[in-house]
Amino acid sequence: MATTLISGGTVVTATGRSAADVLVDGEKIAAVLAPGSTLLGQDLARSVDTVLDAAGKYVIPGGIDAHTHMQMPFGGTEASDTFETGTRAAAWGGTTTIVDFAIQRYGERVMDGLAAWHEKAAGECAIDYGFHQIIGDVNDDSLKAMNSLLDEGVSSYKLFMAYPGVFYSDDAQIYKAMRVGAETGLMTMMHAENGPAIDAMVAELLAQGKTDPYYHGVARAWQMEEEATHRAIMLANLTGAPLYVVHVSAKQAVEQLAAARDNGQNVFGETCPQYLYLSLEDQLGAEGFEGAKWVCSTPLRSKHEHHQDHMWQSLRTNDIQMVATDHCPFCMKGQKDLGVGDFSKIPNGIGSVEHRMDLMYQGVVDGKISLERWVEITSTTPARMFGMYGTKGVIAPGADADVVIYDPNGHTSIGLEKTHHMNMDYSAWEGYEIEGHVDTVMSRGKVVVNNNEYLGSKGHGQYVRRSTSQYLV
């Protein structure tokens, strides 16, 4: 097996940083050593196959994006990144594992949905991948199937309080699913927005001729997120199910989560870069149909209400535990433009899988989170939350050699289509400047990106079988 020494860098973990060399043997990390260590009197650097010089750079566990939707069918079209293009873009940005969502649609069987997603991903991915299971039709058969998910390496399932007629579960269905979730040890993930009320408001706005993308944000008011978050928390409290609320964007929803956590409940929250940086006014409210680029649900929030500042603060105080992207890209031409003249027909989603590590590192530069917290919210907590820790999310002997060398003196300009690697005809992050750079990305011991060159291959990525959450007491 090939050996690599990552030498001279600063190893950063969720709990600290130190000058150390990292020895990689095959697909695993073999040792974390004092700089310049020798082996049986031999200079280690001379006895390995490859030396990667990390002097002046950070050596971190590869990013884990626990919320992506590659080639997901939505609104009469399909997310534009395939598993091949999406995982390649992820690798470019220092992410070495994604957890995507397999889907059971209404009238379908859960295990057929999971099998379909395995088929889409197998042999296509540049980096490792796991699956959460969306239960889009809670019925007796689905509830029975939930008992087999852990055997399939799927330790989390997701319900929707939004999208009536598509993925929506009513309170009775949520209650029943959570009962099973609590019994089996599955993490319940929740899209927490009051879908029926939102749909009523959408119809009102459209009837008034308010059809621009901006009104997507108006219709999905923060009250709808706070209310659903609270309801999910109460149902989780009643059933004893651990609860993970996806893409939290409203500060009032964070307050609900924080109160439940203070009350001792196993309740967690995820936010995404778009809710930290972007707003209803500046992006959704952009000229003409431009705002469609940023139509996603939950929506971007008003900057005048300071949700974005509150979200950064929540990351510091651990009221929000981690950051994923909800990567679900659609092109403007032929996809987003389905909603010209009717914002409710714009496919929901933003592409960010390539930029999450950089965008969150900028939070370190800006003094909003610490270096260690950056590693924790982008890699270590996602690994623990979803049952991969030890293999993923850490630089330690025995872990998969998923390693990123990050240059704090480098620079990354996020630009148009040509300068990113996601399969999109625009970038939601065009113009963002990052005071750092992903130099080298290693996935299970193989260098897949180095000095702005892609060295990976489709099919290298393997399915990750996950165990129950390691974040619970």
Nearer to Zn ion, 52 or 66 (CB): 66
Task: Decide whether 58 or 294 has the Cβ nearer to Zn ion.
Answer: 294
Strand partners, 43: 38
CB 328 to Zn ion: min, Å: 6
Closer CB to Zn ion, residue 84 or residue 326? 326
Scanning 39-47, 273-281, 324-332, 375-383 for contacts with Zn ion by CB under 5 A, the matching segment is 324-332
Helix (H, G, I), strand (E, B) or coil at 468: coil
Of the listed pieces 227-235, 321-329, 427-435, 457-465, which binds Zn ion according to CB under 5 A?
321-329
Least distance between Zn ion and beta carbon 65 (Å): 11
CB atoms within 10 A of CB 411: 10
81 binds Zn ion (CB under 5 A): no
**Order of strands across the sheet that contains 156-160:** 63-68, 95-104, 128-135, 156-160, 187-191, 243-245, 267-271, 322-323
**How far, in Å, CA of 275 to CA of 300, rounded?**
6
In terms of Cα–Cα distance, which of 96, 386, 69 is closest to 244?
A: 386
The residues facing 323 across adjacent strands are: 271
**Residue (326 or 400) nearer to Zn ion, CB:** 326
Taking CB under 5 A as the binding criterion, the range among 84-92, 296-304, 318-326, 401-409 that sits at the site for Zn ion is 318-326
Least distance in angstroms from the C-beta of 397 to Zn ion: 35
Closest residue to Zn ion, based on beta-carbon distance: 326
Shortest Å, Cβ 166 to Zn ion: 13
**Given the complex with Zn ion, which of 391 and 423 has the nearer CB atom?**
423
Q: Which of 100, 128, 326, 400 binds Zn ion (CB under 5 A)?
A: 326
Binding string, residues 244-263; x marks residues near Zn ion by CB under 5 A:
--------------------
d(CA 11, CA 312): 24
| Cβ-based nearer residue to Zn ion, 65 or 227 | 65
Q: Please identify, using beta-carbon distances, which residue of 177 and 369 lies nearer to Zn ion.
A: 177
Question: Which SS3 state, helix, strand or coil, does residue 142 take?
Answer: helix
Per DSSP, the residues of 168-222 read B--HHHHHHHHHHHHHHTPEEEEE-S-HHHHHHHHHHHHHTT--STHHHHHHS-H
Of the listed pieces 58-66, 129-137, 198-206, 319-327, which binds Zn ion according to CB under 5 A? 319-327
Radius of gyration for the alpha carbons in the chain, expressed in angstroms and rounded:
22
Binding segment toward Zn ion, per CB under 5 A, in 266-274, 325-333, 355-363, 437-445: 325-333
Phi, psi of 383, rounded to the nearest 5 degrees: -65, -45
Residue closer to Zn ion (CB basis): 74 or 214: 74
Span from 27-35, 326-334, 369-377, 436-444 in contact with Zn ion (CB under 5 A): 326-334
Q: Which two tokens stand for residue 95?
A: 């992410």
In the bound state with Zn ion, the residue whose beta carbon lies nearer, of 189 and 369, is: 189
Identify which of residues 21 and 326 has a Cβ nearer to Zn ion in the complex.
Answer: 326
Q: Which string of x and - marks every residue 277-316 that binds Zn ion (by CB under 5 A)?
A: ----------------------------------------
Encoded tokens for 215: 């009104």
Question: Contact between 100 and Zn ion (CB under 5 A)?
Answer: no
Instruction: Closer to Zn ion by CB, 284 or 369: give it.
Output: 284
Separation between Cα atoms, residue 3 and residue 9, nearest integer Å: 17
Judge whether 315 and 369 are in contact, CB under 8 Å: yes
Compute the least distance from the CB of residue 249 to Zn ion, in Å: 12
CB of residue 326 to Zn ion, shortest distance in Å? 4
* Minimum gap (Å) between residue 296 Cβ and Zn ion: 8
Piece of 29-37, 201-209, 322-330, 407-415 that binds Zn ion (CB under 5 A): 322-330
For residues 67 and 325, give the distance between their C-alpha atoms in angstroms, rounded to a whole number. 6
Write each residue from 389 to 428 as x if it is in contact with Zn ion (CB under 5 A), else as -, in one continuous string: ----------------------------------------
Query: What does the per-residue mask of binding to Zn ion show for 4-43, with x meaning CB under 5 A?
Result: ----------------------------------------
CB of 89 to Zn ion, least distance (A): 17
Q: Of 69, 105, 123, 40, nearest to 328 (Cα)?
A: 69
Residue number, 128 or 326, with CB nearest to Zn ion: 326
Least separation in angstroms between CB 327 and Zn ion: 8
In this structure, how many other beta carbons lie within 10 angstroms of the beta carbon of residue 219?
23
> Is 358 a binder of Zn ion (CB under 5 A)?
no
- Provide DSSP, 87-117: HHHHHHTTEEEEEEEEEEPTTS-HHHHHHHH
C-beta separation of 400 from 392 below 8 A: yes
Q: How many Cα atoms are found within 13 Å in the side-chain-facing hemisphere of 310?
A: 16
Max intra-chain CA distance, the chain: 79
The Cβ of residue 120 has, within 10 Å, a number of other Cβ atoms equal to 16
**Where do contacts with Zn ion occur on this chain (CB under 5 A)?**
326
